[in-house]
Amino acid sequence: MSIRLPDTICRSAGLPAATSVSSALPLFWSLAKRTLDICVSALVIVLGMPAFVLIGALVWLDSGSPVIYRRRVLGPKGEFDAFKFRSMKPDADSLLAADPALREEFEQNFKLRNDPRLTRVGAVIRKFSVDELPQLFNVLMGQMSLVGPRMITAGELAKYGPYQKQLLSVKPGLTGYWQINGRQAVSYDERVRMDMFYIQHWSFWLDLKIIMKTPVKVLRREGAY
């Protein structure tokens, strides 16, 4: 199956207009992966609803609204809003813009080791990655997969160089090969390499292995900040 990339994505990636990408997965395995996504995300949403309500309440009590942050990211069909519990202060963007040193660090890895923009509750939910739980709704809607390459913004796409089309051939994941192999402890180039390894060596069993390893890595807070 071939999907035409939106012209805005083509321009930001330096690709010709009307560029198309082909799905990296055969149809049968694509359907199997989607079935797993629907079943697991729906089950976790239903069973985890009390946790959703509790975390949302803590975010609101700590720093007000909005409780949900919408991050604009890329997928095979263009940009979409990935949902997260808000972990940063409402004026996070202005804090970053006002500090050249912080902005330079952020532009290198799109992460900050000691991020002054985090709220008190935000620092905790980031450590255990529960700020990303609302992305289960993105998985249920078909915008993301349980397992896939890193979720990135349009501004990060250039860092993937010749691998941009490959990256956009599959849905970004709630978890993935990078998340169980170092997370923030590895360089951005290494993240790119891991994403490409996952796409090129994908199997249903690799997805299951990553899903089973993810809770252990999250509880150990390996590479998280």
Sign, Cα dihedral of 130, 150, 222, 107 = negative
Residue 151 domain flag: yes
Q: Are 111 and 102 contacting, i.e. CB atoms less than 8 angstroms apart?
A: no
pTM of the shown model = 0.81
Q: How many domains does the chain have?
A: 1
CA distance 104 to 113: 13
Helices (H), the chain: 7-13, 27-47, 49-63, 92-97, 100-109, 120-127, 135-140, 164-167, 188-200, 204-220
pLDDT digits (tens, 9 = 90+) for 143-195: 999 999 999 999 889 889 999 999 999 999 999 998 888 766 678 888 899 99
Residue 17 domain flag: no
Q: What is the SS3 assignment for 2?
A: strand
Most confident option among 36-45, 102-111, 185-194, 216-225 = 36-45
- Candidates 149, 133, 144, 51; CA nearest to 84 is 133
Provide the pLDDT confidence category of residue 128 given band limits of 50, 70 and 90.
Answer: confident
Residue 24 domain flag: no
Q: What is the pLDDT of residue 11?
A: 59
Sign, Cα dihedral of 97, 85, 212, 218 = positive
Residue 225 domain flag: no
Domain, as residue range, for 37: 2-12+30-220
Residue 25 domain flag: no
Average pLDDT over residues 65-83: 93
Residue 147 domain flag: yes
Q: Are 5 and 168 contacting, i.e. CB atoms less than 8 angstroms apart?
A: yes
- Ordered DSSP codes for 48-102: THHHHHHHHHHHHHHH-S-SEEEEEEEETTEEEEEEEE--B-TTHHHHHHT-HHH
Least confident of 115-119, 144-148, 176-180, 199-203: 115-119
Residue 105 domain flag: yes
pLDDT at 3 over 90: no
9 vs 99 pLDDT, higher one: 99
Q: Are 76 and 171 contacting, i.e. CB atoms less than 8 angstroms apart?
A: yes
Residue type, 206: L
Task: Copy the structure tokens of residue 154.
Answer: 């349009």
Residue 20 domain flag: no
